[in-house]
Amino acid sequence: MDHICLVVAPLDWPAVIDSGVLDVVQGPVTRSGARGDGQSIYVRDPDGNTVELRSYPQDLDQPPLDGELVRDPATRERAAADFGHVVRTVPEAVLRPGSVADVAAVVRWAAGAGKQVAAQGARHSVYGRAQVGHGVVVDMSGHNTIHHVGADRIVVDAGATWRDVLAAALRDGRTPPVLPE
Ligand SMILES: Cc1cc2nc3c(=O)[nH]c(=O)nc-3n(C[C@H](O)[C@H](O)[C@H](O)COP(=O)(O)OP(=O)(O)OC[C@H]3O[C@@H](n4cnc5c(N)ncnc54)[C@H](O)[C@@H]3O)c2cc1C
């Protein structure tokens, strides 16, 4: 036997590693086990033994969703960047909503758990205005349907970009009366 494995509650592994409390040998990486894929790190205990700490996503306390609550480091890192690149706050998770109900469910769940929620579109703002640390970022970019271009309004989903809106309007020979530079 070269190590023992302890299943622990889901943790913010990068924050745990950054804290410097543990002597981390490897990770976090995805490893398969009896309960499916989990996030795992190897640490060295004070006696020099190697101990694996592993968490499983199904142990997370979260509401049922049509979309997904993503916790992988790369996705969370992307949500910690904005146009200014001055403030960098890594969220605990990123919601890719599958429905409007998902957004409501996560806002309710976060409120009950004392967590923060921030919506993100294209993250073109600065100073971390669309970032949260202790909570969830809602990535609206997947909800970008242009529903209707009318004579006096254009109805779009919350993640639609100006580029898409303009392209849709131009197809009808129109432009929005105001555009960002
Ligand atoms: C170089 C540059 C030029 C710019 N020029 C202009 C300009 O000409 N005119 C102009 O108006 N602005 C301009 N801006 C500002 C920029 O356009 C806005 O910050 C940007 O459009 C916001 O959209 P976003 O999707 O990037 O929002 P994000 O940066 O993702 O979020 C900005 C804020 O809106 C909130 N938010 C995001 N999505 C939602 C949602 N669906 N529901 C509720 N809240 C939400 C976020 O939580 C955050 O507080 C400029 C910015 C830059 C960097």
Half-sphere exposure of 1 (CA within 13 A, CB side): 7
93 & 123 share domain: yes
Per-residue pLDDT band for 107 (boundaries 50, 70, 90) equals: very high
Show which of 34, 59, 84 is a domain's final residue: 59
**For range 68-94, the mean pLDDT:** 94
pTM, 2 dp? 0.75
What single-letter amino acid sits at 60?
L
Would you call 138 exposed, middle or buried from its count of C-beta atoms within 10 A (0-12, 13-18, 19+)? buried
In a domain, 149, yes or no: no
In a domain, 105, yes or no: yes
Task: Tell me the pLDDT band of 170, cut-offs 50, 70 and 90.
Answer: very high
- Give domain status of residue 161, yes or no: no
The region of weakest confidence among 26-30, 43-47, 57-61, 150-154 is 57-61
Q: Which helix (H) or strand (E) holds 168?
A: helix 162-171
Ligand 1 and 158: CB distance under 6 A: yes
Q: Within a 10 A sphere around the Cβ of 143, how many other Cβ atoms?
A: 20
Q: How far is the CA of 140 from the centre of ligand 1 (A)?
A: 12
Q: Is residue 159 part of a domain?
A: no
123 lines ligand 1 (CB under 6 A): yes
Tell me which residue range forms the domain holding 50.
Answer: 4-59
Q: Which of 96, 102, 103, 125 to mutate to test the pocket of ligand 1 (most atoms within 8 A of CB)?
A: 125
CATH number at residue 43: 3.10.180.10
Is 61 near ligand 1, meaning CB less than 6 Å away?
A: no
One domain, residues 135 and 91: yes
Percentage of the chain with pLDDT > 90? 76
> In the predicted model, what is the mean pLDDT of residues 4-10?
90
